[in-house]
Structure 1
């Protein structure tokens, strides 16, 4: 196999407020518990059925951690994109345990808040900050990377 992909995308609701802790080296780590549900109609009874899966999400990305801590709460609808990782640990009795998590690494991952602005009163401030951050990154990247293929700046106007 030439390569592989480890990508997880979830759209669901938080089952509890974000849990924020700090690592030994001072970095913020946020844990989320996200529920996703599958609904269908039972063929035999005609009743609506639902199955809910719970996903443990860990955010190591500083900017996303700050947003999650400040704006997310139990019941918030979020879109998460990260990588699946399984880690091994020992319980109090020395028995090996395994936990599978969706991880948003320091320089990877995506978090999008879904829902109305009334769910988070300060959401417009965050969107402005994110837009300013993205704009400054685009300017920095534009200045540091010469155009490929000699295209330079293109005129956005349609010629007809």
Structure 2
């Protein structure tokens, strides 16, 4: 079974292209973060890994186009796809992408407390002076 589940933040606006057939494809980068504590020093450490994601699924492309922005926290369910090609200089190249194309694959936008604070906004203070009617 080839199934990948990643939760992370969108690195840039998804790139939406229209193919010659009229179908659309979406590509975007997703940053995932791994956190741990160093056993010797006790210091907290983290590492960010970037993933390339591609989808041809019309509903998912439309969702990305209309509702997903740079910095959004999302979950991706897809499969690993390895691609190989030769570039213009004749060099062999390869890349691994996450493909969101099959049944059960999806891109889901998640709620995040960081969403408001990332833009400098804070939630309004609750009004504690309201009268309680009983």
TM class by shorter chain equals 0.7 to 0.9
**1:11 is the counterpart of 2:7:** yes
**Cα contact 1:61–1:107 (8 A) shared by 2:** no
Which residues in structure 2 correspond to 1:51-62 (within 5 Å)?
Answer: 51-62=47-58
Contact conserved, 1:87 with 1:99, CA < 8 A, in 2? yes
Q: Distance in 1 between matches of 2:83 and 2:109?
A: 27
Residue 154 of structure 1: aligned partner: none
Unaligned runs of 5+ in 1: 120-160
Work out the CA distance in 2 between the residues paired with 1:25 and 1:110. 23
Give the aligned CA root-mean-square deviation in angstroms: 1.5
Distance 1:63 1:88 in 2: 27
More helix by share: 1
Q: 1:56 touches 1:102 (CA, 8 Å); kept in 2?
A: yes
Structure with greater proportional strand content = 2
Unaligned runs of 5+ in 2: 116-134
How many residues are matched?
A: 113
C-alpha contact 1:60 1:106 (8 A) present in aligned 2: no
Q: Return the TM-score normalized by structure 1.
A: 0.66
1:95 aligns with 2:95: no
Q: Which moves more between the two structures, 15-24 or 58-67?
A: 15-24
User: Deviating runs (4+, > 2 A) in structure 1?
Assistant: none
